[in-house]
Structure 1
Amino acid sequence: MTTNQDNANSGRPKTGGGVKTFSHVDTWIFDLDNTLYPHHLNLWHQVDMRIRDYIANYLNIAHDEAFKLQKDYYRRYGTSMRGLMTEHGMQPDDFLEVVHEIDHSPLEPNPALGDAIEKLPGRKLILTNGTRKHADAVMRRLQIHSHFEDVFDIVAAELEPKPSAKTYDRFLDRHGVDPTKSAMFEDLSRNLAVPHALGITTVLVVPEGTREVLREDWEMEGRDDPHVDHVTDDLVAFLKRCLR
């Protein structure tokens, strides 16, 4: 029997019956951060620190307390921003501008990823809880921007982040996507529950087995959940298998 670790390292589907393949897929949906680039680069760690600093300044509290509040809101509301809006009435424009002003230089061109995405048949779209500006910066650093039709960001989601069902509905409606002919790639299992229920083939992208990453335990959970159809720690190799 194939183990979960074997599944992650090989990019093969999870064991069990009813495994979904990709021959029916005509729309490929990708999360951005920690999905299209490796977790170990810790690019999102920069955003994390800027969110912590923003909360500390906005609420006039110590950084340690701000970090606890940040993680609590992130887990309960999908983003720390949504928690600040709900609990404190924060207006999001300044927050979005400040926290995404990061150094994107750790990202390098990934021609293998670009080639794999280009060869996928059909449309390719980004669905992110970040901003379009940040998504554009990431894609240009990776040199994959020309392969994507559009970016559906937190503003397009009317500031309601994944995993809210309304966000997926807005995304599908805006782009005229048939969920039963789609596949979605995500690094958080909880963000795949609604897509799976809608009929989307789901792929959980996990950190490379040999890399240490700065993530909380709950963020790493869920690879065995029934709403996860496939698990991989090598996105490029997995996309190549999809073509076969």
Structure 2
Amino acid sequence: MEFSLAPPFAGITDWVFDLDNTLYPASTRLFDLIDERMSAYVQRLLGCDPVEAKRVQKTYFRDHGTTLAGLMKHHDVDPHHFLNDVHDIALDRVAPDLRLAEALRRLPGRRFVFTNGNDAYADRVLAAIGIDDQFHGLIDIHACAYRPKPDPTGYQLLIDRFAIDPTRAVLVEDMAKNLKPAKAMGMTTVWVDNGSDHGNHLHDPADIDLTITDVADWLTDLLEPPHVY
């Protein structure tokens, strides 16, 4: 049975998803493992104690958007070395999500991943969830020249590389501040308010078209055909 999606998603042709704490639940706490490795990396780099390493890490995250951006600016860190190191984590916390896979498959149009992580890590996570075959492309931090969301660079790259009409595209993201550039470009925006650390930082209701708590639940409901009486 053919049916149209309800507004504001009627006419959407391109669906863009963040990765961490968006395509899997924030309650998985997978990013905690990456956070621990980032602190250890900073500690080794600076030869400092764990408390100072954590302080530097979080300061760079706050001031530069990612810890990596701060390390590159202040310590000339090789981004490939850093990203390969901190993403070398076990993925046993991530479970396959058959509902999400089925919902993604049924979405009309194309599907993309837009992440501040690197492509190798993203590929591993998508495979662990069981959705690695559901996407038409990926933009990672390497492609964005290490300018993390919400820097506009990656958003424009996404639009240009995949010939996306932003007025017919949606961005799904757990960090509210990362929706602002997408909204300014004309994209429909969905905030995944699921308890991500700093997820509500710089939250602005004007940048958000819809707030959800779980991507699989939302997509399943969205794709439910209307009842015929």
* TM-score computed with the length of structure 2 as normaliser: 0.91
Equivalence for 1:239:
219
* SS of match in other structure, 1:36: coil
**Preserved CA contact (<8 Å) 2:170 2:189:** yes
Which of 19, 22, 27 aligns to 2:9? It is 22
Cα pair distance change 1:214/1:66, threshold 3 Å = farther
* SS of match in other structure, 2:190: strand
For residues 174-199 of structure 1, what are the alpha-carbon distances to aligned partners after superposition, in whole Å with 9 as ceiling and x for unaligned? 11111110001000001000000000
Segments of 5+ residues of structure 1 without an aligned counterpart are 1-18, 208-212
Aligned pairs (5 A) from 1:85-104: 85-104=72-91
Amino acid at match of 2:48: I
Cα distance in 1, alignment partners of residues 50 and 92 from structure 2: 26
Which of 149, 161, 171 aligns to 1:162? It is 149
- Structure with larger RCO (C-alpha < 8 A, sep 6+): 1
Equivalence for 2:207:
227
* TM-score computed with the length of structure 1 as normaliser: 0.85
* SS of match in other structure, 1:32: coil
Cα distance in 2, alignment partners of residues 89 and 225 from structure 1: 37
Say what the alpha-carbon RMSD is for the aligned residues.
Answer: 1.6
Q: Which shifted more, 229-238 or 24-33?
A: 229-238
Cα pair distance change 1:73/1:20, threshold 3 Å = farther
Does 2:20 align with 1:33? Answer: yes
Q: CA deviation at 1:46?
A: 0.3
For residues 137-196 of structure 1, what are the alpha-carbon distances to aligned partners after superposition, in whole Å with 9 as ceiling and x for unaligned? 111111111111111111111111111011211121111111110001000001000000
Segments of 5+ residues of structure 2 without an aligned counterpart are 1-5, 225-229
Cα distance in 2, alignment partners of residues 86 and 235 from structure 1: 35
Cα distance in 1, alignment partners of residues 205 and 70 from structure 2: 26
Q: Which shifted more, 108-117 or 88-97?
A: 88-97
* SS of match in other structure, 1:102: coil
Cα pair distance change 1:105/1:187, threshold 3 Å = same
